[in-house]
Amino acid sequence: MNKQVHSGRYKSPQDFIIAAIQNQVYIESQETVETDSEVLKSQEYSAPPSFSFAAPMTKKVAIQLLSSDVAQVKTVPLKDFQRPSFLWGQYNRFFPVKIVTRVAANLAREYSAEYVLLGELQEKSAQIARELGKVIERKDKQLGRKRGTIISAGLPIGRDQDKAKSRFKNQFVGYMAGNRIEGAAPALKFLDMMKDEKNSVLAGITDFGLRFASLSNPVIDLEDYSAALSAEEVEFLLDHIASEVLGEAKLIRLILTGVREGVATPEELNDRVKTYSSDWKRNEVVMMRSGVVSRMSELGLLERRKDGVKVTYLLTDLGQKYLERLNKLEA
């Protein structure tokens, strides 16, 4: 590290560490495919809210993600635990949470219970996400998807299976630490947790989670890889974030406002994200900006433009409309 700093390639040890973190995230996110082919445009889907599976990619994937009777799924109320009001930067996509909610719904129905063991939910979610992720990864490559549009990003498809699955379990399924619940699904209020008399951690799907799980998904239900989420799912997430995940809504508003005002590069947006919390260190700001921008791109709020090595972001029509909506809610 000292050699690299002394050579002038990095201004300080801190810059070297930040670059190393960003490179690791880049590698692990599986967003390394860069080709000149065009990415297929997202399409709207009007399939009914069910768990029908058109053509299973594998029998095991279908069993874990298919459910036919949502009415039999028992949901749990939201308990008074501490949970983040935003999603951490490592939670770079919503699609992995879709898998978690489907598996949680099926386990609740299978056991006819409100709560199931968190460990079982974590293991089954991570395993099916890896199997499905491998299929999607091949499709991403066939379609020549570029960084920022890769659907398999966030899924546990790394070479080190145990490490990849462990990361998925903690980041997307979540965990309980004392009086606090962490993870993407709990932060979105799609899962809640509690401890039983044996001090085992249990997890259950909420009404919010079941509603999201029941919406048709193009990849899972139709084997259509043109988009990670359906129009219905995007609409649901935008509504849900605006009303229930207020910290995430604030982060999105900061980014959208900045981009509209011409603050459009990753470096410039770092300064905007920093205003959310003065306690965040430089590497945390970079991580948070990267995560929220990735999620916003998945929702179709931002468009990524690359000119040589320079990356800038533009508001989409949906992004402009959502910013206007968030501004009215803040008024």
Per residue in 34-57, pLDDT (tens digit) is 333 332 333 333 333 344 433 345
> Where do the domains of the chain lie, and which CATH numbers do they carry?
49-226+237-244 (no CATH), 245-331 (1.10.10.10)
Q: In the prediction, which pLDDT does 159 show?
A: 92
User: Which tokens in the block code for residue 23?
Assistant: 């490179």
Mean pLDDT score of the chain, rounded to an integer? 83
Q: How confident is the model at residue 170 (pLDDT cuts 50, 70, 90)?
A: very high
Q: What is the mean pLDDT of residues 78-105?
A: 94
Within 8 A by CB and 6+ apart from 118, the residues are 173, 175, 176, 193, 200, 201, 202, 203
Q: Are the beta carbons of 221 and 81 closer than 8 angstroms?
A: no
Positive or negative: CA dihedral 131, 133, 134, 138: positive
pTM for the full predicted model: 0.81
Query: What pLDDT does residue 15 have?
Result: 47
pLDDT confidence band for 248 (50 / 70 / 90): very high
Contacts of 41 (CB under 8 A, 6+ apart): 226
Query: Cβ neighbours of residue 69 under 8 Å, at least 6 residues apart?
Result: 109
Least-confidence region, from 35-39, 54-58, 85-89, 152-156: 35-39
pLDDT band at 28 (very low <50, low <70, confident <90, very high): very low
Is residue 328 helix, strand or coil? Answer: helix
The backbone torsions φ and ψ at residue 198, rounded to the nearest 5 degrees and listed phi first, read -95, 5
Question: What residue spans of 188-316 are helical by DSSP H?
Answer: 207-214, 218-222, 231-244, 246-260, 266-274, 282-298
Exposure b/e, 287-301, CB count within 10 A at least 16 = b = bbbbbbbbbbbbbbb
Burial, 12: exposed, middle or buried (Cβ in 10 Å; 0-12, 13-18, 19+)? exposed
Contact 141, 153 (CB under 8 A): no
As a whole number of angstroms, the distance between CA 8 and CA 241 comes to: 43
